[in-house]
Structure 1
């Protein structure tokens, strides 16, 4: 029998290896989850779904494109908490393999996401963490909403799902920087966002430097509350006219939460506004910490609008903050929080452009009291009707004000030439004009007037949209040139992305070809050369609009060559 058992064990070992090869199972992978080295999961076809793992009690360590945790410090809930987490961090798969698009039956990429908060019971309380919206109240680009992340519409839908469908007590917090520029349009965008956060029931919002570069009167009007003792915008060391509070206490889910914000020293250098009262981060943060500590809260949260390094310094100086939400880091937040060395503080990144939400769950579980999940605001979340109406109201304000009301003044082109419209090119360049006329460029303005998605909200009065959808604008400064597009009725010949967007304004070239202007033969030849766009320079011209925000597909290897075939002439 001993020999038979040995043969049987050998047989089982061989069978296990064979099954691992067939199903992708093994010590380092889970059944149904393709390993990153498996032929079933080519890297180009993997999509991020965010991992539902217990919050690690140690530093995160980078492994390829995901994060795994190393065991480390304890994580009590506060002065009243006594639980020490003994849960071993689990390296949950952050990606699920899609079918290889080279397979014959795969006509389009398909993927499935596992359930959110897998393995979670209902938490006593959940923190809903956002920030760094940078003006993206909705995703921007021409790749379609199914391929984009972020937006207030999806954010409210997700928040409502947690509160209404799951029945969770949720405290929403934001680390700030709702806009990325200054001027009248960003002021309106800040006001719109502030109204959206109010409708979503945010309990505390900190300030970013771009918020504080706006007109203080406009910002204060947006953040002020009917109850002066209930203003939700907080910062320990940056105040609007001395009226905004330094910290705030929120009670939810049977917990008392002490919250404050801080604007980092480097971020303060970006602000030149005498009406913003700013103080030393460490000194002011100490005062807020002492005030919150005296309230004997169950949980302390710091909204740190600062770099990663500065945020770590604040966490080390005030280790009582169990949760530090930071504006530092890259555009995509890490999969797991970082435990700041020498503390129990968990530091959570929010990323940029409002594409992600970090959710922290608090549990009555001494072994695992806090869990975390990063969630991408992708197409699984439908548009909230309330936020869609808010977007429509924002666009209506832009229409009412017009370019003059927004403080936008047409500028002369640096060449000294003027735009004349694509039809002026048609007589001499009929074949090229026909290619353009049958391209998507010739319908670019129409997609703003009658959007293919969120069609209820036209965008053709929005300078940030017009800049890449009409002729004669600077796409990087969102400004029109004097001879460029000003309106559908005013300048109908400048609608759409025309010839001159790539080749430059053609007034002198057209005039010289028509025998006008008294130009010499040398000048006429020069104008012809100036209108030429060498292929090696075309890519840079395209990237002014087809940047990573608007056209991520354009940055894939070989994409330019592919799209050039559709427009070459």
Structure 2
């Protein structure tokens, strides 16, 4: 018999790392442990007892369930709080603390992730990060991960090397319609079952045809029809008689709803491709008796699904915002982050992943001291700005503003951090230009000295490499030299600043506020 459900999604209105807007919702609530009001599609939801911002501490207010699921999706490489600014949500360290709070209340908890753990593919850093992520998920007692395009683009051979099925804390890769090397035995598991809290749980996953087309061809990876795969899985699961059946759906939300409608045997469909910051009244939808739910993106939230088999309303769901006011850091996860950064340094990822290419202008970088020989007024503005100390701010021992967020871990060899904290990189792609900044301990002649020359966010990140400008000045072509490096306020406002001050890293960035701190119009 299908189960009815009480769905309770609540978010908090803190600054996140996405440009998606957040609605504050209705802050009123009735009295009682699970005070509800009517939400989307007439399904009951719960308002925060304290209104927004704030969220109910469900580990204190909910009854102990027979089993609880920690549900996540589409981390997209954000193993730390999303972005590098204050008030950011997320991170596996806080997620582990949420798990601890649930377990301290004797809740039997297991984790499931719909997939989308990675963000980039053809770089060593993405693989090191996925290995670190899997280590974190094992520590948090996750049982399975769906296979999305982000994972599959890393390559079948790499994924096979990471798919541990033997150890006690193994996390299964799951997909009913993905096969590696034309060999099912070497492929993700089509489904898994396990016992938790005395109940049998069944989990499967599929990659939809739409996401398959978007992913394109991946060597040694074959993807079959999702619907045919689900029909086969559900038939195989019949003799298992699971108490709860879950689909990790690597699909657009509309496709996931179609799966729920066509295959009502599923109690839960955890979908990918949802909102980065789901609306409190739209983080779920009931399709028949199946719950289609979202868990947000970039690791900012974790969904907690509690199951009460003997209650009239058997499921309760809460999307928990992983903020720094409700959750502490977890020492084992801080150690994991330190190990991750050390691997980036030891494996010289700055060299292997950012092979220098020439700047499109054909010019090369000369460094701020060269600029300062003529542009003394601009130099006086820059040297007192945070831009000047951007590289130093990656090292906690320098104690620059916000250094506490580094948790004592240096980021000076992380391409994803360096790209906006040094000169001569392309931030959107974490790409180093040939004459751009390079860590001194990694540099060989003739690139020795580039760290000293180009540390910090200098003039040339906005005005372009300066060698051609200098040549034109020396040739007497003053107007051409000016045109070579001229930047208007309009250009800065519309595109330039946003290459680093994007919603991920600077959710509170206001151009008009910060422009006055760095503007240096005219010439000396």
The alignment's TM-score, normalised by the length of structure 2, stands at 0.85
Unaligned stretches of 5+ residues in structure 2: 1-20, 397-402, 442-447
Of 354, 358, 372, the residue aligned with 2:317 is: 372
Match of 2:387 among 441, 444, 458: 441
Q: Is the 8 A contact 1:191 1:219 kept in 2?
A: no
How many angstroms apart in 2 are the aligned matches of 1:332 and 1:94? 20
Unaligned runs of 5+ in 1: 1-42, 62-66, 72-88, 98-110
The structure whose Rg is larger is: 1
Q: Deviations over 1:76-111 (max 9, x none)?
A: xxxxxxxxxxxxx255248735xxxxxxxxxxxxx6
| Residue 468 (structure 1) aligned with residue 396 (structure 2) | no
Distance 2:419 2:126 in 1: 15
Do residues 240 (structure 1) and 180 (structure 2) align? yes
- State the shift of 1:381 in Å: 1.2
Aligned counterpart, 1:10: none
| Aligned: 1:314 with 2:255 | no
Structure 1 residue aligned with 2:492 = 538
Q: For the Cα contact (< 8 Å) 1:392–1:457, is it kept in 2?
A: yes
Separation (CA, whole Å) in 2 of partners of 1:149 and 1:160 = 18
Which of 292, 306, 312 is the aligned partner of 2:237?
292
CA RMSD of aligned residues (A): 2.8
For the Cα contact (< 8 Å) 2:424–2:433, is it kept in 1?
Answer: yes
Equivalences for residues 26-105 of structure 1 within 5 A: 67-71=39-43, 89-90=44-45, 92-93=47-48, 96=51
**Do the aligned residues in 1 keep the contact of 2:82 with 2:91 (CA within 8 Å)?**
no
Q: CA deviation at 1:333?
A: 2.6
Please report how far the alpha carbon of residue 339 of structure 1 lies from its aligned counterpart in structure 2 after TM superposition: 3.8
Kindly report which structure 2 residues correspond to 1:469-548, keeping only aligned pairs within 5 A, or say none: 469-488=421-440, 490=448, 491=450, 492-513=452-473, 515=474, 519=475, 521=476, 523-539=477-493, 540-548=495-503
Structure-2 separation of matches of 1:142 and 1:296: 46
Aligned residues: 475
CA distance in 1, matches of 2:243, 2:394: 49
Q: How far apart, CA to CA, are the structure 2 residues paired with 1:211 and 1:94?
A: 39
State the shift of 1:175 in Å. Answer: 0.3
Partner of 2:375: 429
Provide closer, same or farther for how the CA distance between residues 274 and 352 of structure 1 changes in structure 2, counting only shifts above 3 A.
same
Distance verdict in 2 for CA 1:368–1:158, change over 3 Å: same
Residue 258 (1) aligns with residue 212 (2): no
Residue 80 of structure 2 aligns to a residue whose secondary structure is coil
1:278 maps onto 2:238 in alignment = no
CA offset digits 1:520-553 (Å, max 9, x no partner): x3x3321212212111111210001101101111
Q: 1:44 to 1:194 in 2, by over 3 A?
A: closer
1:209-228 alignment runs, 5 A limit: 209-226=149-166
In 1, Cα distance between equivalents of 2:47 and 2:410: 42
Q: 1:334 offset after TM fit, Å?
A: 4.0
**2 CA distance for matches of 1:176 and 1:90?**
26
CA distance in 2, matches of 1:467, 1:262: 35
Q: Offset of 1:366 from its aligned partner? A: 3.2
The one of the two structures with greater contact order (alpha-carbon pairs below 8 A, sep at least 6) is 2
Please say if 1:386 is aligned against 2:341. Answer: no
Question: C-alpha displacement at 1:231, in angstroms?
Answer: 5.8
Partner of 1:416: 362
Q: Aligned pair in 2 of structure 1 residues 47, 434: CA closer, same or farther (>3 Å)? A: farther
Aligned to 2:116: 177
Distance 2:26 2:335 in 1: 30
